[in-house]
Structure 1
Amino acid sequence: MSVKNQLIKERLPEHVAIIMDGNGRWAKKRGNSRVFGHRSGVKAVRAVLEAAGELEIGYITLYAFSTENWKRPKLEVDALMALLVSTITSETKTFMKNNVRLSVIGCIDTLPKEVKRKLVECIEKTSQNSGLTLNLAISYSARWEITDAVKKIAEQVKNNELDVDAIDAETISNNLTTANIPDPELMIRTSGELRISNFLLWQLAYAELYFCDTLWPDFQKEDFYEALMDFQSRERRFGKTSEQLKK
């Protein structure tokens, strides 16, 4: 019996964030280039989105390309950008068919013009869709995001639009790129690495973290269900005691 049938719908996370790690190692094991691994990873994205849609999960955020990834060899970066364009182009029709809305977080002004154009086109075309929101973190890092939010808040104070004493956690959240998205309740990282790599540092404050050894191209629906089942086994206390939760 699939793990899916054991999941409790009322206890599913509204937002799942995923670090899609292991494409390069997966390709290397097969004697292929890292780019081959990235291409193969697209299948895993489709599987997860399909599973999330079936379960009516509201948001999936995928860490697609970090600000640090610009330091990778130019050949790999160029191939990743080309893959991004081709994937968005080919998947837009599927997004429309499945009522998926695309959004993006990150410094997209640093992206090649064609990549940015395709992203904006897809975002606009899917903007009225009301099902799953696919949130791509591209040219993104949490430290960049938090720094950018601090600058915005400082500018508001400078322009007398905000009093310093009024700044609180909500102020910061409202100035992040995820201002209109609920914080992730579950973060999944594949490939066996045990870190969050500058990903949604503010938003993951109370998220449950799930790490698995599966390399991203091998991550399929059952793997996703396993992560959700593990999430449902956790006791989420938010600073309270177990006894308080039982009252």
Structure 2
Amino acid sequence: MGDAALPGRVTLVGAGPGDPGLLTVRGLRALERADVIVADRLGARAVLDGLAADGVLLRADVIDVGKQPGRHPVPQEQISQLLVTLARQGKEVVRLKGGDPFIFGRGSEELECCREAGVPVELVPGITSAISVPAIAGIPLTARDLAAAFTVLSGHVLIEDVPGGRDHTVVLLMGVGTLAHSAHMLSRSRGAGCPVAIVEDGYGPDQRVTFGTLGTIAHVAAQARVRNPAVVVIGDVVTLSPSAPPELVDAARPSLDRKEAP
């Protein structure tokens, strides 16, 4: 355990999308030497459970500060202060965050709080769900002749100024609650027929993919009772998924044919 006579430190570790196999080696080493792990709900808890199931024994105490939609039992300010308090007790602290700490993970706030308090802090990046979760559905965010760029957004922010058309992929995190509004706004530049995929519970036991278009996805998602955690992918790259419905691919074909024309 940490010695109170020695300075502690904090390591912000990205847990990735929840599969322990996608945790970085550097992140695993930080968990192995930790005295205390302060864990999120999404991604982080699944990684800890997965490591335990694989026989990886961690000696650290685990403090759960996980947030749920509309319910934050431990406010962000208290989480940041908890990291400082534990480190000042001489402990090796790992703050285990889902995905990547710097992609809508408020990792920068925790990093700044530790630095202002004079606590040594290190960042270990993680694999963001924005890229990894679409990948398990066979959806690349960029693809030759289909999309050369992508934008990642939180569903809680305004999306009126997202650049490009359907060849510019849009990824929405935490976007189910505002899906109808997002689809309406994006259809102005991409058309109602632009393909959409929603990947729920990526790498989890309830993983599934729901397909539609900007014109239909809000209704389809409501009928299917789509819930967070989910990643929404918007653009022609959706048609590359092996599970994309043939009618969706056929409907997108005129747009795809124009891109492939010499």
Specify which structure has the higher proportion of helix. Answer: 1
- Which gives a bigger RCO, structure 1 or 2 (Cα 8 Å, sep 6+)? 1
Return the index of the structure with the highest Cα Rg. Answer: 2
Give the structure with the higher percent strand: 2
* Structure 2 length-normalised TM: 0.27
Q: TM-score, normalised by structure 1?
A: 0.29
